[in-house]
Structure 1
Amino acid sequence: MTLVEFPAIALAAVVCWAAGSLLQIPAKNSRIFGSLSWLFMLSGTLVLAWFLTSYWIALERPPLRTLGETRLWYAMLIPVVGFLVEYRYKIGWLKYYCMGLATVFLGINYLHPDVFEKALMPALQSPWFVPHVVVYLVGYVLLAASAVSGWHNVIQNFRGRRSEKGESMSHYLALLGFVLLTFGLIFGALWAKEAWGHYWTWDPKETWAFISWLAYLGYLHLVARKTDPRKLQWYLGLSFFVLLVCWFGVNYLPSAQNSVHTYSG
């Protein structure tokens, strides 16, 4: 399966998520509709998982080289976070935000289609490449969910409907995301040493990865200082913008034109 089939796959996933979301309305009074709703929502994610697996086989390499390929993984993984949160915390609203974000990224890929290319430059043939990218992807997914949860909590606080369970959820998502960001930095340094001979060169991508790590380290320091959790929801919501700059915004900076990470554009 190649990118030719992507529009149909993306449409199928979005239709499944939308149908599952709409079925949540009658599901409040019917277990049958509840089961159908989950069947559709899970099917949307499974369709993307099937496409990524097939695409991996067709490429004969992990589909993790370009921004478009990482967006596919992001679109597949972030709804899973919403589903798991509902299972763990019994909080149902996050999954709708997650499916919405996944739809946005599928839309970006549709409007800016990737190029089918099997070639993998020598630097990306390192055994550290896949662990580095996968760990970062999952970390970004968790931190995106944490940011969405943070903004939701901010709105709820304005409406006088504070949810300590929601604040706890956003905290633990951020904590897990930070752990993965840390491993991502370590794996990236090991990869850089093998590929370019240096653990760290203050390349624009590396610099922004470090800045984003510091942003979430700052969050943990504020937590340790027992800062009001309501204020921390603002912090989590705004910190994710730093990650977005690191993920793809840095590619548009003049200093990134000579970056060793230009392969990911």
Structure 2
Amino acid sequence: MINWDNFIAFAIVSIILWITGAIFALRSSSESKAAMGFTVCGIITLGIFITGLWVFLQRPPLRTMGETRLWYSFFMGIVGLLTYVRWKYPWILSFSTLLSTVFVIINLMKPEIHDQSLMPALQSIWFIPHVTVYMFSYSVLGCAFIIALTGLLRHKEEYLHTADNLVYAGIAFLSIGMLLGALWAKEAWGNYWSWDPKETWAAITWMGYLLYVHLRLFGKTRKKTLYLLLILSFLALQMCWYGVNYLPAAQQSIHLYNRNN
């Protein structure tokens, strides 16, 4: 039976496979198939653990921060691979592997109690699609963040076009996730939006990426400014995801699920 006690084995195998894939990607374009193969195997390994944990818990592993970090690492591997396949940047797998590995290591260093119960607020048809769509959007925007960091150093025009495509996809999924969250909030708490700290930071994040899209479509903004905007927006996303939990004002948030809401 796969449970949290088995995570270290799956984590180590996934990380080794991802790192091996990244090394092959950096070596030469002729070894792209090997890079993709190892990366896919790493994604599958983590996917098997998530599936097994789902079966063990008898609920979707989406409740705790540790569980959402699992999904982020999983989707980050997928988005990094898709970006590598589409744009052939040999370094992208190294950065996506780094981000995935960081969140896997956080889970190893900070284990959580994963029980089978779901509080009433989470027993909703909107729960699974809202969180999974959000995690996927976070992963896509994470790749946009990687491109922005690289663009600041290398100043290639193609990086900005790549960032455009990632942001357009990421903000589309982010918007869908927010809509699903609003429907869930209406069902669970009676209001579509309450402007609690998490929702406020979600709006800040969304507006940051919308500003980037606006500037790209209608403005003539310097590339450096656009890259910095993407970096700041991603930092706001991190604040929305987990940083807000450390704010005193967030302790009464309806989005804290470590108590019965």
TM-score tier, shorter chain, comes to over 0.9
How far residue 73 of structure 1 moved from its aligned partner, in angstroms, is 0.7
1:234 aligns with 2:228: yes
Is residue 2:185 matched to residue 1:184? no
C-alpha deviation, 1:264, in angstroms? 6.3
Q: Aligned ranges for residues 181-260 of structure 1 at < 5 Å?
A: 181-223=174-216, 224-260=218-254
How many residues align? The count is 257
- Distance, in Å, in 2 between the alignment partners of 1:251 and 1:264 is 11
CA contact (8 A) 2:26 2:90 kept: no
Query: TM-score, normalising length from structure 1?
Result: 0.92
Deviation (angstroms), 1:234: 1.6
**Equivalent residue for 2:45, pick from 44, 47, 54:** 47
> Residue in 2 aligned with 1:160?
none
SS in 2 for 1:263: coil
What are the equivalent positions in structure 2 for 1:5-44 lying under 5 Å apart?
5-24=6-25, 27-28=28-29, 31=30, 34-44=32-42
Distance 2:78 2:28 in 1: 20
Superposition deviation, residue 34 in structure 1? 4.6
Distance 1:112 1:143 in 2: 25
The correspondence for 2:160, drawn from 160, 167, 174, is 167
CA contact (8 A) 1:81 1:95 kept: no
Q: For structure 2, which runs of at least 5 residues remain unmatched after alignment? A: none
- 1:229 is displaced (CA, Å) by 3.1
Give CA deviations for 1:101-120 in whole Å, capped at 9, x if unaligned: 00000000000012121100
Map of 1:107 onto structure 2: 105
% identity of equivalent residues: 42
- Stretch moving more, 17-26 or 178-187: 17-26
Residue 74 (structure 1) aligned to one of 51, 72, 75:
72
Rounded to whole Å, the distance in 2 between the matches of 1:152 and 1:78 is 17
Q: Retained in 2: the 8 A contact 1:2–1:116?
A: no
Query: Which residue of the partner structure matches residue 2 of structure 1?
Result: 3
Gaps of 5+ in 1: 158-162
Distance 1:37 1:86, change over 3 A: closer
Query: Residues of 2 paired with 1:69 and 1:109: CA distance?
Result: 9
- Cα deviation, residue 75, structure 1: 0.6
Kindly report the root-mean-square deviation, in angstroms, between the aligned alpha carbons of the 2 structures.
1.6
Closer/same/farther in 2, CA of residues 123 and 40 from structure 1, 3 Å limit = same
CA distance in 2, matches of 1:95, 1:26: 12
Q: Cα distance, 1:36 vs. partner?
A: 3.5
In structure 2, distance between residues paired with 1:247 and 1:25:
31
* CA distance in 2: counterparts of 1:218 and 1:258, whole angstroms: 30
Could you list the per-position Cα deviations for residues 105-153 of structure 1 after superposition, in whole angstroms to 9, with x for gaps in the alignment?
0000000012121100000011111111111111111111101110111
1:178-217, Cα deviation, whole Å (9 max, x unpaired): 1111111111111011001111111111111111111111
Q: TM-score, normalised by structure 2?
A: 0.93
